[in-house]
Amino acid sequence: MKPDIDDYLPLAPATLHILLSLAVEPMHGYGIMQEVLRQSGGRYNLGPGTLYDNLQRLMKQRMVEEVAGPRQEGNSRRRYYRLSSLGRGVLSQELARLEDVVHEGRMRLRALKPGRA
Amino acid sequence: MLRWLYIQLIWLHPAPFRWRFGDDMLDDFDRAPNRVKPRYLADAVASVARQWLLRPEFRHPETTAARTQPSLETASAPLFQTIETYKPRPAALLHGGLLATLSIFTAVLLIAKGGGVTRPFLIGAHYPRSGLLPVDRNSVPGSDLNTTVNLGSDPSDAWLKLARPYFLSMPVLRALDTDRDFKLSPLEIGNAPAALRKLDTHYEGRVTAEECGLPISPNSVLAARPAQLRRQFMNYHPVLAALDADYNGEISSWEIDHAGAALKKLDLNHDGYLTAGELIPFETAVRAGLR
């Protein structure tokens, strides 16, 4: 049975950042942490324990899957992860949901501004 | 130190998580700058708690291992996979442990009970068995054993326990008991004059009570009456009383010469030996509960 994407929404911040990091290309754990740091402008520093706990859960939910690393990668100990089609779909739905939230929020804030009233 | 702590924290994670992500976690820790490492430690502590408290579904290896195999269609590098990911269940491990414990217990019990099992190849036994290497004495010349073995005094003998400190505290007995068996043999009694003369440190031809072990402190009230004290001391100890025949508080030259005969008077059982029971003062033996 195909899982319902809405069951996974909304995503926790750490999950969202991890899925976003993997949206472009497969990455290893340390690369994901660096990417999350970059995405959040240095505000969200993901620790290894939190990262792999999330990856474990995401792999169980089949949103992320492990892939072989690139040939030029010298460190064979590292594991690479990528988004699955399910993960990509969940991420798309979450971003759409967030866009709605942002849109709704902006409308309400705009309505609250005194000059526009 | 931080790295060691981090490794210990990784080891505290549930085994499936540790097998799966332990190497990566340590690699990430090694790559991280030093200022971040304390925060990684805190993160690992939280991760341990989270794994044990909130992730019970991940504690079975097959649930993660079966799902996390690298997808072959994207793997450009050669992959090596095991056919089977079987690991024994905890219940099977428990049963195995119990069976091993029971087996060891049974083996120990059999050994402790002497076996109760036929041991046909055992060489040597503490009881005669007809089936075990029968002893043939044909080569031994027929002669009766006539070796006499003299056993020493029983160490558990209460008299011996009392005699040891007494002999050591008495210079006269120390000099007489040359073989340190805490009894005086006929030979030692016969050599008594020579032994006593060694105690005459002042070369006066006599052995005084002080040379026999009487401690007189100059500050003692008894020091005012030394003659009486000496007589009391010599009279208290049977061996000194026997040697001091004239009860003057010292062993004179004549008494030294006749020490052998004087000591023989102490041999109450006439066995030729002076034992602790014949040498230790009556009061001392009473206090020790031996009389």
Cα distance between residue B94 and residue B74, in whole Å? 41
Report chain A residues whose CB lies below 8 A from the CB of B38: none
Q: What pLDDT sits at residue A17?
A: 92
Of B27, B39, B67, the CB nearest to A30: B27
Distances from the Cα of B92 to the Cα of B13, B89, B95, B123, angstroms: 22, 5, 5, 42
pLDDT tens readout for residues A15-31: 999 999 999 899 999 99
A71: nearest Cα among B74, B19, B21:
B74
Distance, in Å, from the CA atom of A82 to the CA atom of A35, rounded to the nearest integer, reads 14
A56 and B29: CB-CB below 8 Å? no
Question: A55 lies in which domain range?
Answer: 12-116
Cβ pair A77:B27 closer than 8 A: yes
Are A69 and B77 within 8 A, CB to CB? yes
Interface test mutation site (partner B, options A35, A36, A67, max chain B beta carbons within 10 A)? A67
Task: Kindly state whether A43 is in contact with chain B, defined as any CB-CB distance less than 8 angstroms.
Answer: no
Instruction: Collapse the DSSP code of A80 into the 3-class scheme (helix H, G, I; strand E, B; otherwise coil) and give the result.
Output: strand
Q: What's the half-sphere exposure (Cβ side, CA atoms, 13 Å) at B99?
A: 6
pLDDT of residue A9: 85
Q: A45 to chain B: which residues are within 8 Å by CB?
A: 36, 39
Does the beta carbon of B6 lie under 8 angstroms from any beta carbon of chain A?
A: no
What span, in angstroms and rounded, lies between the C-alpha atoms of B159 and B165?
11
> What is the SS3 string spanning A3-15?
CCHHHHCCCCHHH
Model confidence band, residue A117 (pLDDT cutoffs 50, 70, 90): very low
* Domain definitions of chain B by residue range: 2-65, 158-287
Residue type, B132: L
Residue A5 placed within a domain: no
For residue B25, list chain A residues with Cβ-Cβ distance below 8 A: 29, 48-49, 52
Q: Are B47 and A43 in contact (CB under 8 A)?
A: no
B25 vs A: CB within 8 A? yes
3-state secondary structure of B274: strand
Task: Say what the pLDDT of residue B121 is.
Answer: 56
In chain A, beta strands by DSSP E = 27-28, 64-67, 80-83
Segment A84-94, tens digit of pLDDT = 999 999 999 99
Establish if A105 belongs to a structural domain. Answer: yes
Closest chain B residue to A72, measured at CA:
B77
What is the structure's pLDDT at A53? 92
Radius of gyration of chain B (CA): 43
Q: Which residues pair with B251 in a beta bridge?
A: B207
What are B165's two structure tokens?
């400190």
CA-only gyration radius of chain A, Å: 17
3-state secondary structure of A84: coil
| 8 Å CB contact of B64 and A66 | no
Is residue B260 a contact partner of residue B189, using CB atoms and an 8 Å limit? yes
Q: A with B: how many residue pairs have Cβ under 8 Å apart?
A: 98
B contacts of A68 (beta carbons < 8 Å): 70, 74-77, 79
Instruction: Note whether residue A1 is domain-resident.
Output: no
State yes or no: cis peptide before A10, omega within 30 of 0.
Answer: yes
Rounded-to-integer distance, Cα B65 and Cα B157, Å: 74
Residue A2 φ then ψ, to 5°: -75, 130
| Alpha-carbon torsion, ordered B43, B45, B48, B53, to 10 deg | -100
Tokens of B93: 């491990």
How far, in Å, CA of A74 to CA of A63, rounded?
27
For residue A33, name the pLDDT band (cuts at 50, 70, 90).
Answer: very high
Q: What is the pLDDT of residue B76?
A: 55
CATH code, domain with A109: 1.10.10.10
Low-confidence ranges of chain B (pLDDT < 50): 62-68, 70-75
- How far A48 CA lies from chain B's nearest CA (Å)? 6
Q: In Å, how far is A95's CA from the nearest CA of chain B?
A: 26
Nearest CA in chain A to B68: A66
CB proximity A79 to B under 8 Å: yes
Tell me which residue in B31, B42, B76 faces A30 most closely, judged by beta carbons: B31
The pLDDT score that the predictor gives to residue B213 is 85
DSSP B225: S
- List CB contacts (< 8 A) between B29 and chain A: 48
Residues in B closer than 8 angstroms to A32, CB to CB, are none
Contact A56 B44 (CB under 8 A): no
Q: List C-alpha distances in Å: B257 to B196, B237, B275.
A: 9, 20, 22
Q: CA nearest B3: which of B38, B49, B48?
A: B38
Indicate the SS3 state at residue B154.
coil
Q: Which residues face A82 on adjacent strands?
A: A65
Higher-pLDDT residue of B290 and A12 is A12
Contact flag A66-B24 (C-beta cutoff 8 Å): no
**pTM exceeds 0.80, yes or no:** no
For chain A, how many structural domains are there in total?
1
Q: Which residues of B touch A60 (CB under 8 A)?
A: 57-58, 63-64, 67
pLDDT digits (tens, 9 = 90+) for A52-84: 999 999 998 899 998 877 766 555 567 899 999
